[in-house]
Amino acid sequence: MQQAMASSSSSPLLMLLLVPLLLAMARPCSGVDAISTYCAKNGTSAQTQASIDQVLTALVPRASAAYYATATAGRSSSAVWGLAQCRGDVPRQDCSLCLAAAAKEVASSCRGSSDGRVFYDYCLLRYSSSNFIGLADTGYTLILLNTQNATGVDLAAFDRAQGKLMSRVASEARDTANKGLATDTTRLGGGGGGAKTTIYGLGWCTRDITAADSGLCVAQAVAELPNYCRYRRGCRVIYSSCMARYEVYPFFFPLGGARESADEVGQCDKIVLNA
């Protein structure tokens, strides 16, 4: 698997020039809109575009029924491969709506591009003129980090608890019985009689990769968390084949009560690497 790392030999001037390309304006940490869309800069022929359209048309109903699907269309230079998947905990109706929105978004934003990928809270969809099925892909990297630090807890203790939680999530992601989805929680005392904080963790992989690669992929995402998200109330690292996420509010199903408030969700900064 590829590492999304900046070279330590980059000049300070070069890094200053790169920063505005990597950071985006803060956005709500959760919502129905796409988290991010990636479109390769290289174009396609009319035949390849026809294959892309066929793949997108096939993916939505198949993945809506089974929560996961792959599709291919075309031959030789016009061949296209696609994959769509919903998180396994998401209600079926939400899965179907997410996939329909994803296909519409990638078709519109990436038309004429040989590689398109779109990421939502509940689903992801991608296509490419190169066969990526079965290959763990950690090149393109999307990081969403809450703009606020955790509150009401000792930050060092919060960081340790989050680290242990996400290490368990990465380990659970290797279990074939979990079908690429691992969730776990931990509770942290508020101290001084304060309320306890629950941290919710999730690891999610595309089902085309092996269970071993799933565990390695989530572990790599978890290893990035301290580099960008230390003390933050929530954070996620998203690759094209997996993601790791933690929050201080329930975000995976069953939610077990009222949905989180906008204040609880907060705003997130977005960082894109290797785009």
Given the DSSP bridges, would you call strands 197-205 and 242-247 parallel, antiparallel or unpaired?
Answer: antiparallel
Tokens 């990769």 correspond to what residue?
Answer: 209
Q: What is the pLDDT of residue 258?
A: 52
Please report, for residues 141, 161, 235, 248, the alpha-carbon distance to residue 153 in angstroms, rounded to integers and kept in the order given. 30, 11, 17, 12
- The 8-class DSSP code of residue 100 comes to H
pLDDT grade, residue 260 (50/70/90)? low
Q: Where are the beta strands (DSSP E) in 79-223?
A: 80-86, 115-119, 123-128, 141-146, 181-188, 197-205
Q: What are the residue boundaries of the structural domains of the chain, listed by start?
A: 36-128, 141-273
Q: What is the pLDDT of residue 26?
A: 79
Please give the CATH number for the structural domain made up of 36-128. 3.30.430.20
Please give the CATH number for the structural domain made up of 141-273. 3.30.430.20
- The 8-class DSSP code of residue 149 comes to B
Q: What are phi and psi of 158, to 5 degrees?
A: -60, -45
Residues 83-132 pLDDT 10s: 999 999 999 999 999 999 999 999 999 999 999 999 999 999 999 999 99
pLDDT grade, residue 194 (50/70/90)? low
Helices and strands, number each (H, E), in the chain: 6, 12
Is the pLDDT assigned to residue 11 strictly greater than 80?
no
Distance CA 65, CA 85 (A): 10
- The 8-class DSSP code of residue 252 comes to S
Question: pTM for this structure?
Answer: 0.88
The mean pLDDT value for 129-157 works out to 96
- The 8-class DSSP code of residue 124 comes to E
